Chains A and B, each alone.
Chain A
């Protein structure tokens, strides 16, 4: 199993191709099976991983001869955690779609699996052009999932999302090509060659923006977020989960792996600005979330707020901030997928997502209420839940960078509690009305999605070291390069 990364990368694509030939709703079961196999592979990688060594399960092969471009994949701690997140969430996302019957299910599920290959490729590439390649490969399936199976206004909105992200990534491509030509000798796009470049400050300064725009649009950081709320709202739930649970982590991962260590001096020129933007995002996202009546939009804006904190913590360039950012990527992925699923459950039964049109759901649904509450408390960072670990480390990181910024960023916890509890109150408590009076509790499938999520909420909350110990040496390695 020394080529484990390769298997992890190729299996979803292969399974996706096979699923294209399955007619009818059997495709969803086949896709679930394929995704579970992928998850088992990822678990095996977690077990086999040697935390104190650097990149493992590597696979290197010449890709484009004479160009020094290699098909070079592998996993260090950070990659591993994100591969785990992807492999953990995709089966749940597929399972969460079981109550729906989408048209052309074979294509729908094949696209999800193709996207998984793209995502895993992004998280495991150690060559700049390979990274860019998978970066775009991950985008195409989600565009079609959102555009074909989405809501009424999907065409214009998903097109905006598509253009926005692809424009960002083209800038990244220019940055990479430029860096590639700065490498010595016959040029190479290997990551270590990029880490060893010693560019002058001016070059670093503008390359920073070329790379950062791509990542900032993906995350999204204020003011590059305008595509996000509409896209989340109009996409089918599974696409929203993919986008918010996994895809936005591509941007954060890109910053950690391809921005900070590559142009450290560029970062030191702009990090203050980025942290300020991130903090604006935290407060802005939270305030708008408080005003939302549509639950899906509310969670979309809350996502801007949470991602802002992750970005701020990572740009603080210290161990707390970065470790917190990584663990929070994991937590946010889990929580946000859970929340979107619960919104989907409520919408399926009542045909509405409006907080004002709901109420009193707790009275008929003990199970749903508990799951909802746990995920919600995880999101607002209550101690013992996963959100607490991440936000604590992140805030500590930002605080070490600058006390005042840390204080403002801390608002996320208060404001987060406000909009989340307001939503819970409006939807779950209060008087029952015509639509919620006959609300049925969770079915077996729905529980099967929520139970693993809730287990992870507590696992990360109680024993974050499972993951933190995996990423610590890798984070140390990257910080070492940045502070060289």
Chain B
């Protein structure tokens, strides 16, 4: 709760700083704000408190995922330095929006009432619509903003419709009360078409936000057009918060209806894995590849959701942390490289191993983590998810996922090949010291998660 209040007030404070047109102050200030929020957030660890007539619950689950999204945002800040150099006029607004959107993300992981889930998603989404179009003079960015807005608001409408139908069937917004009504054997709510439709619509709404197929069509275009910094935010924070909220909804409200949503979700998972990985393999633009890769990771996370046992929570947490860190590193490096080489294809990375050994090394670690190769956090993320699924006897699904991660190795390693085995395509990329520091930190975190996963695998 403290983190929500702090983020909001820091966001407003930041806007006032923006009035003074002192851009140089903003990044360090936002960085400091977020560090404070991160520290204050963990102060709530171990206590479960409910707020506003049980609208929000801050428990370990909420604290852990808030930690992930705030940490992810912190790691993003160093890469925004170019905005300062370019004297971007709206810098303060962008970062205030970023802070506000985190409030939405926290509500998505801490909600206890479907209204709160909806409000959280809306806060996060509206912020993202603005940020997607924030490069005002760039046609692609405008396109991305508009596309995301039109499709996103439609999806939100469907989500709201779903929530209302659930309310119609069960008479409750409170997730625990829905659970009582939707558990098999407790009346006819479970068999009512209202609840089934409501569940389906909610599923569609959330799937859109986490870009699970077949509701993923916006992802490649929007990711490509959005300024890289905010693409990184979109593919990490939105996904982490989305999945944390998704899992909470399913595990608390619809655990009893597992048999009803399982077939739908399992079909979506297979399609998501397929479209994400095969789509990514076909790309020549690194940024579009990362968009499809983010679809594919939604697929892996959905496997943890389908496994639906006591390993799932930890698996989702570990996976989303490993995924977020690696993704921020990848997008951060893409931003540094593409800003100077003006190219977002694989070719932009040619010979980076020679011109910028640090960038290339961190990128390699990030790619290994995304591909799920040992020594990195991504490997244990996948291992935990697969173990959770295997305990539920979903062997065939794991085999599908493994086949797809083989495709994943192919496209992630294309950039590694470009960096180390091809001739440089440009000059040395200039990297600021704060960005280098953030990159080193992310590399170390990824390796630590890959060598000592026990530190974080049993938090929840």
Question: Within 8 Å of chain B (Cβ to Cβ): is A59?
Answer: no
Contact assessment for B375 and A137 in the assembled complex, using a CB-CB cutoff below 8 Å: yes
Give the Cβ gap from B79 to chain A, nearest Cβ, in Å. 26
- Docked Cα-Cα span, A63 to B457, in Å, equals 11
> Could you write out 17 A-B pairs with CB less than 8 Å apart?
A63-B452, A63-B454, A65-B458, A136-B374, A140-B368, A148-B420, A155-B417, A159-B417, A162-B409, A163-B409, A166-B373, A166-B406, A170-B406, A174-B398, A177-B387, A180-B387, A181-B391
Contacts of B409 in A (CB 8 A): 162-163, 166-167
Question: Within 8 Å of chain A (Cβ to Cβ): is B201?
Answer: no
Given A63-B454, A64-B454, A132-B374, A170 and B405 contact (CB-CB distance below 8 Å)? yes
Question: Within 8 Å of chain B (Cβ to Cβ): is A171?
Answer: yes
Question: Within 8 Å of chain A (Cβ to Cβ): is B390?
Answer: yes
Contact assessment for B375 and A163 in the assembled complex, using a CB-CB cutoff below 8 Å: no
- Docked Cα-Cα span, A106 to B379, in Å, equals 28
- Docked Cα-Cα span, A159 to B413, in Å, equals 9
Question: Within 8 Å of chain A (Cβ to Cβ): is B150?
Answer: no
Contacts of A65 in B (CB 8 A): 454, 457-458
- Docked Cα-Cα span, A57 to B368, in Å, equals 32
Residue of A136, A147, A180 near B421 (CB, 8 A) is A147
Q: Which of B423-460 contact A (CB under 8 A)?
A: 452-454, 457-458
Of all chain B residues, the one with the shortest Cβ separation from A136 is B374
Of all chain A residues, the one with the shortest Cβ separation from B406 is A167
Classify the secondary structure of A's interface with B. helix
Question: Within 8 Å of chain A (Cβ to Cβ): is B267?
Answer: no
Residue of A133, A147, A154 near B374 (CB, 8 A) is A133
Contacts of B413 in A (CB 8 A): 159, 162
Q: Which of A133-154 contact B (CB under 8 A)?
A: 133, 136-137, 140, 144, 147-148, 154
Of all chain B residues, the one with the shortest Cβ separation from A171 is B402
Contact assessment for A136 and B390 in the assembled complex, using a CB-CB cutoff below 8 Å: no
- Docked Cα-Cα span, A163 to B387, in Å, equals 23
Contacts of A148 in B (CB 8 A): 353, 420-421
Contacts of B386 in A (CB 8 A): 173-174, 177
Of all chain A residues, the one with the shortest Cβ separation from B368 is A140
Contact assessment for A154 and B402 in the assembled complex, using a CB-CB cutoff below 8 Å: no
Query: Could you list which residues of chain B lie within 8 angstroms of chain A, going by C-beta atoms?
Result: 353, 368, 373-375, 379-380, 383, 386-387, 390-391, 395, 398-399, 402, 405-406, 409-410, 413, 417, 420-422, 452-454, 457-458
Question: Within 8 Å of chain B (Cβ to Cβ): is A7?
Answer: no
Give the Cβ gap from B212 to chain A, nearest Cβ, in Å. 23
Contact assessment for B417 and A174 in the assembled complex, using a CB-CB cutoff below 8 Å: no
Give the Cβ gap from A200 to chain B, nearest Cβ, in Å. 15
Contacts of A171 in B (CB 8 A): 402
Give the Cβ gap from A229 to chain B, nearest Cβ, in Å. 21
Contacts of B399 in A (CB 8 A): 174
Question: Within 8 Å of chain B (Cβ to Cβ): is A404?
Answer: no
Contacts of B454 in A (CB 8 A): 62-65, 67
Contacts of B405 in A (CB 8 A): 170
Among A63, A137, A154, A174, the most chain B Cβ lie within 10 Å of the Cβ of A174
Q: Give 9 closest A-B pairs by Cβ, nearest first.
A: A136-B374, A64-B454, A133-B374, A65-B454, A167-B406, A170-B402, A155-B421, A66-B458, A148-B420
Contacts of A399 in B (CB 8 A): none
- Docked Cα-Cα span, A303 to B173, in Å, equals 68
Give the Cβ gap from B393 to chain A, nearest Cβ, in Å. 9
- Docked Cα-Cα span, A275 to B305, in Å, equals 43
Contact assessment for B457 and A144 in the assembled complex, using a CB-CB cutoff below 8 Å: no
Classify the secondary structure of B's interface with A. helix
Of all chain A residues, the one with the shortest Cβ separation from B380 is A64
Contact assessment for A181 and B417 in the assembled complex, using a CB-CB cutoff below 8 Å: no
Given A144-B420, A170-B406, A181 and B374 contact (CB-CB distance below 8 Å)? no
Give the Cβ gap from A353 to chain B, nearest Cβ, in Å. 23
Contact assessment for A140 and B373 in the assembled complex, using a CB-CB cutoff below 8 Å: yes
Question: Within 8 Å of chain B (Cβ to Cβ): is A178?
Answer: yes
Given A63-B454, A65-B458, A155-B417, A140 and B390 contact (CB-CB distance below 8 Å)? no
Question: Within 8 Å of chain B (Cβ to Cβ): is A315?
Answer: no
Contact assessment for A129 and B421 in the assembled complex, using a CB-CB cutoff below 8 Å: no
Give the Cβ gap from B383 to chain A, nearest Cβ, in Å. 7
Contacts of B373 in A (CB 8 A): 136, 140, 166
- Docked Cα-Cα span, A154 to B417, in Å, equals 11
- Docked Cα-Cα span, A174 to B386, in Å, equals 8
Interface flags for A28-71 (1: CB within 8 Å of B; 0: not) read 00000000000000000000000000000000001111110000
Of all chain A residues, the one with the shortest Cβ separation from B398 is A174
Contact assessment for B420 and A147 in the assembled complex, using a CB-CB cutoff below 8 Å: yes
- Docked Cα-Cα span, A181 to B454, in Å, equals 19
Give the Cβ gap from A239 to chain B, nearest Cβ, in Å. 14
Of all chain B residues, the one with the shortest Cβ separation from A181 is B390
- Docked Cα-Cα span, A63 to B387, in Å, equals 16
Of all chain B residues, the one with the shortest Cβ separation from A166 is B409
- Docked Cα-Cα span, A75 to B399, in Å, equals 33
Give the Cβ gap from A211 to chain B, nearest Cβ, in Å. 14
Give the Cβ gap from B291 to chain A, nearest Cβ, in Å. 23
Give the Cβ gap from B425 to chain A, nearest Cβ, in Å. 15
Contacts of A66 in B (CB 8 A): 457-458
Given A62-B454, A170-B406, A174-B398, A129 and B420 contact (CB-CB distance below 8 Å)? no
- Docked Cα-Cα span, A61 to B192, in Å, equals 53
Residue of B374, B380, B383 near A137 (CB, 8 A) is B374
Contact assessment for B406 and A140 in the assembled complex, using a CB-CB cutoff below 8 Å: no
Contacts of A181 in B (CB 8 A): 387, 390-391
- Docked Cα-Cα span, A144 to B421, in Å, equals 9
Contacts of A155 in B (CB 8 A): 417, 421-422
- Docked Cα-Cα span, A144 to B353, in Å, equals 12
Contact assessment for A163 and B417 in the assembled complex, using a CB-CB cutoff below 8 Å: no
Given A66-B458, A148-B420, A178 and B390 contact (CB-CB distance below 8 Å)? yes
Of all chain B residues, the one with the shortest Cβ separation from A156 is B417
Give the Cβ gap from A202 to chain B, nearest Cβ, in Å. 13
Contacts of A163 in B (CB 8 A): 406, 409-410
- Docked Cα-Cα span, A144 to B420, in Å, equals 8
Give the Cβ gap from A237 to chain B, nearest Cβ, in Å. 18
Give the Cβ gap from A111 to chain B, nearest Cβ, in Å. 11
Give the Cβ gap from B404 to chain A, nearest Cβ, in Å. 11
Contacts of A144 in B (CB 8 A): 420
Of all chain A residues, the one with the shortest Cβ separation from B450 is A133
Q: Which of A160-176 contact B (CB under 8 A)?
A: 162-163, 166-167, 170-171, 173-174
- Docked Cα-Cα span, A178 to B393, in Å, equals 9
Contacts of B375 in A (CB 8 A): 133, 136-137, 140
Contact assessment for A129 and B383 in the assembled complex, using a CB-CB cutoff below 8 Å: yes
- Docked Cα-Cα span, A63 to B454, in Å, equals 7
Contacts of A180 in B (CB 8 A): 387
Contacts of A173 in B (CB 8 A): 383, 386, 402
Give the Cβ gap from B420 to chain A, nearest Cβ, in Å. 5
Contacts of B395 in A (CB 8 A): 174, 178
- Docked Cα-Cα span, A436 to B457, in Å, equals 63
Contacts of A159 in B (CB 8 A): 413, 417
Contacts of A133 in B (CB 8 A): 374-375
Contact assessment for B410 and A154 in the assembled complex, using a CB-CB cutoff below 8 Å: no
Give the Cβ gap from A288 to chain B, nearest Cβ, in Å. 28
Give the Cβ gap from B103 to chain A, nearest Cβ, in Å. 34
Contacts of A140 in B (CB 8 A): 368, 373, 375
- Docked Cα-Cα span, A154 to B421, in Å, equals 9
Contacts of B406 in A (CB 8 A): 163, 166-167, 170
- Docked Cα-Cα span, A166 to B368, in Å, equals 12
Contacts of B420 in A (CB 8 A): 144, 147-148
- Docked Cα-Cα span, A147 to B353, in Å, equals 13
Contacts of A178 in B (CB 8 A): 390, 395
- Docked Cα-Cα span, A64 to B387, in Å, equals 13
- Docked Cα-Cα span, A136 to B375, in Å, equals 9
Contacts of A137 in B (CB 8 A): 374-375
Of all chain B residues, the one with the shortest Cβ separation from A206 is B395
